């Protein structure tokens, strides 16, 4: 091995560039963050050939004075922090002081700036070959323009790893979108090869902010999302979360911002997955644009070179706040006008049992252990009907008479409850008929409502099973022979630390040695589960996130199966009273818009949509 020696500045910067300059999108991120930190209210971005040939960023920020221009291209030179206290409360996007130095080491860079209140603009130019900055006067309004040309011209091996122009620009455009969502007060304009791609005006009102979200994420996202704004314990979460029915096959519409910084964080992703677990279809991903505001002193942004990840001082508190806020926001999405749920007096968010209707008895069978619902209808009517039966001559004659009524004679229709005649129509309206023993057709104030009766009843039954379980708790069942399991010393310490928490969930764990645990009791409901594997998974979650929901997940899987088998089946004929009772239950049940598997339970077509369908009014 050769002697130890200092690296020359050019090589040191190129090594640093390998951490922060992966592709043109990485450069744009650093340049835009500098513009935002400089107080820019308008940023114009010009890109050529996906950013490989040219990246130009122009802002109207505070600018840089002449004497600081060479320093701006030096490593570990920054105006954003001065001592350790500043580093512990970082309030800017950039602070490492190495971005421009790294970029200039692998490109031809020209920086032109006019400082606030200065009479003269100046520019500094450098190339990756020698990196000797050259400063000279220039013409430029207040603000800064950075031009980066021929990216990786002096590191051809790095250039070979770049993708096609289209791919590189798509990554770059995504970076601009993420930053545009983090700063609604700044105008962003993006052009590629002379063509305008994004033109976003500043958004100072809620309506303008919503319009920007729609232009970036699509109007369908805004139309099918829930607006939230919750604050607790020094944490504030606000933004938009997509309805479970507006999910994606990929996690490509997920934006999370902490104190103005867009991040991708495992703790955040875990909390969001937990909140959507009960309502999302298998293999689908939720959509959201969320903003978390916290004291900068309780979040460490200096844990990753590209600053994509952060570390919270109290990760468990943040996780619980995110989960409970999103969980409640999704739970409260019922048909319009339904009554909200009540909360526990201590501020907890435990679900409360809803009143069970006595008219239909739709829920009684689940709690009494019956397999089928005791719907109040003669037993003979519950025989499975023939699929698509051929109408008899008498039925055809009756139909002819009904259609004849359109020429003057009144046609008999299902009688609606007295409230409907008085104009008090509930969100899901009143049932008119049952279609093929599968769907309920109802009429509300806006038009037609179609309900999948099995999916809807499955959700109602499932939520009530969870409510009953929450009230009764998880009962423990002692094992005849305690099950021994080998763990690491860290896992055993974690199990001892959370012994009371495990006990509340129905587990009794005993430490038998430095790396051995014994399972003495398990939840009675999970007696068929692999107890050792479940404890291993829970311990892994506790060490990673400070919390775990795996026991609840396994319990809920069993309750969901029970609810599925205990719900009204297809081809079961319901009376109008029973159908209306089901509609009223849906309006009072949390998450009634989706079944336990994430499928939608109902849909609605307005009179305008029906008119358009049949070309009425044209």
> Has residue 393 got a pLDDT over 50?
no
| Full 3-state SS string of 555-566 | HHHHHHHHHHHC
Structure tokens at 377: 């209808």
Which residues pair with residue 242 across a beta bridge?
225
Note the pLDDT of residue 343.
Answer: 36
| The pLDDT value given to residue 319 | 92
Pick 106 or 173 by higher pLDDT. 173
Where does 9-200 sit in CATH, by number?
3.30.565.10
Query: Per the structure block, which two tokens stand in for 506?
Result: 């129905």
pLDDT for the residue numbered 105: 86
3-state secondary structure of 424: coil
pLDDT over 70 (residue 394): no
Q: Provide the CATH number for the domain formed by 363-376+425-618 in this structure.
A: 3.30.1370.100
In the predicted structure, residue 209 carries a pLDDT above the cut 90: yes
412: confidence class by pLDDT, cuts 50, 70, 90: very low
Torsion angle, alpha carbons of 305, 310, 312, 313, to 10: 10
Q: What is the CA 336 to chain-centroid distance, rounded?
A: 22
Averaged pLDDT, 553-579: 78
- For the chain, what are the domain ranges? 9-200, 206-331, 363-376+425-618
* pLDDT at residue 413, as a whole number: 45
pLDDT at 156: 86
**Lowest mean pLDDT across 9-23, 106-120, 305-319:** 9-23
3-state secondary structure of 440: strand
Q: What percentage of the chain exceeds 70 in pLDDT?
A: 82
Q: What is the mean pLDDT of residues 408-427?
A: 56
Q: Which residues pair with 125 in a beta bridge?
A: 110, 134
SS3 360: coil
- What is the mean predicted confidence (pLDDT) over 443-471? 88
Average pLDDT, the chain: 81
Regarding predicted confidence, which is higher, 314 or 469?
Answer: 314
User: Does 440 score more than 60 pLDDT?
Assistant: yes
What pLDDT, on the 0 to 100 scale, is given for residue 128? 62
pLDDT of residue 395: 38
pLDDT score of 401: 37
pLDDT at 418: 52
Residues 6+ apart with CB under 8 A from 345: none
Q: What pLDDT shows up at residue 428?
A: 94
Per-residue buried b or exposed e for 289-321, using 16+ beta carbons within 10 Å of the residue's own CB: bbbbebeeeebebeeeeebeebebeebebbbbb
CATH fold of 206-331, please? Answer: Ribosomal Protein S5; domain 2 (3.30.230)
Q: What is the mean pLDDT of residues 316-337?
A: 87
pTM, two decimal places: 0.72
pLDDT higher than threshold 80 for residue 469: no
When mean pLDDT is compared across 127-131, 299-303, 330-334, the lowest value belongs to 127-131
């Amino acid at each position: 091995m050769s002697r130890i020696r200092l690296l020359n500045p050019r090589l040191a910067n190129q090594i640093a560039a390998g951490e922060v300059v992966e592709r043109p999108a990485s450069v744009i991120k650093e340049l835009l963050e500098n513009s935002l930190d400089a107080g820019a209210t308008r940023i114009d971005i010009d890109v050529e050939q996906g950013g490989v040939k040219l990246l130009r960023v122009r802002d109207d920020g505070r600018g840089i004075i002449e004497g600081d221009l060479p320093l701006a291209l030096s490593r570990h030179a920054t105006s954003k922090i001065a001592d350790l206290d500043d580093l512990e409360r970082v309030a800017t996007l950039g602070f490492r002081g190495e971005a421009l130095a790294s970029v200039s080491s692998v490109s031809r860079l020209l920086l032109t700036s006019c400082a606030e209140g200065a009479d003269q603009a100046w520019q500094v130019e450098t190339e990756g070959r020698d990196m000797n900055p050259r400063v000279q006067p220039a013409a430029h309004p207040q603000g800064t323009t950075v031009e980066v040309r021929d990216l990786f011209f002096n590191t051809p091996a790095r250039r070979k790893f770049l993708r096609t122009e289209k791919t590189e620009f798509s990554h770059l455009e995504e970076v601009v979108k993420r930053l545009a969502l983090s700063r609604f007060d700044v105008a962003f304009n993006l052009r590629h090869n002379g063509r305008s791609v994004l033109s976003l005006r500043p958004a100072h009102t809620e309506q303008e902010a919503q319009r920007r979200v729609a232009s970036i994420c699509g109007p369908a996202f805004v139309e099918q999302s829930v607006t939230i704004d919750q604050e607790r314990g020094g944490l504030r979460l606000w933004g938009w979360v997509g309805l479970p029915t507006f999910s994606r096959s990929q996690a490509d519409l997920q934006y999370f911002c902490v104190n103005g910084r867009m991040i991708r964080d495992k703790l955040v992703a875990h909390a969001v997955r937990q909140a959507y677990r009960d309502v999302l279809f298998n293999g689908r991903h939720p959509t959201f644009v969320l903003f978390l505001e916290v004291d900068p002193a309780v979040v460490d942004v200096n844990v990753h070179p590209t600053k994509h990840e952060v570390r919270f001082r109290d990760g468990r508190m943040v996780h619980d706040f995110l989960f409970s806020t999103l969980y409640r926001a999704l739970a409260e999405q019922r048909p319009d006008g339904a009554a909200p749920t009540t909360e526990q007096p201590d501020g907890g968010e435990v679900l409360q049992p809803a009143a069970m209707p006595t008219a239909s008895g739709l829920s009684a069978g689940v709690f009494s252990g019956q397999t089928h619902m005791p719907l109040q209808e003669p037993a003979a009517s519950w025989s499975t009907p023939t699929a698509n039966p051929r109408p008899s001559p008498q039925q055809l004659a009756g139909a002819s008479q009904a259609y004849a009524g359109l020429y003057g004679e009144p046609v008999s229709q299902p009688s609606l409850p007295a409230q409907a005649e008085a104009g008090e129509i509930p969100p899901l309206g009143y049932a008119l008929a049952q279609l093929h023993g599968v769907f309920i057709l109802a009429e509300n104030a806006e038009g037609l409502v179609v309900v999948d009766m099995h999916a809807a009843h499955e959700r109602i039954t499932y939520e009530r099973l969870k409510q009953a379980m929450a009230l009764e708790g998880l009962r423990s069942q002692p094992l005849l022979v305690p099950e021994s399991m080998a763990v690491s010393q860290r896992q055993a310490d974690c199990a001892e630390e959370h012994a009371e928490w495990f006990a509340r969930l129905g587990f009794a764990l005993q430490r038998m040695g430095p790396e051995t645990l014994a399972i003495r009791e398990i939840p009675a409901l999970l007696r068929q589960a692999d107890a050792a594997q479940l404890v291993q998974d829970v311990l892994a979650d506790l060490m990673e996130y400070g919390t775990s929901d795996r026991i609840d997940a396994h319990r809920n899987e069993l309750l969901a199966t029970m609810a599925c088998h205990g719900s009204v089946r297809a081809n079961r004929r319901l009376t109008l009273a029973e159908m209306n009772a089901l509609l009223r239950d849906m309006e009072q049940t949390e998450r009634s818009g989706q079944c336990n598997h994430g499928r939608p339970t109902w849909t609605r077509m307005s009179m305008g949509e029906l008119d358009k369908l049949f070309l009425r009014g044209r």
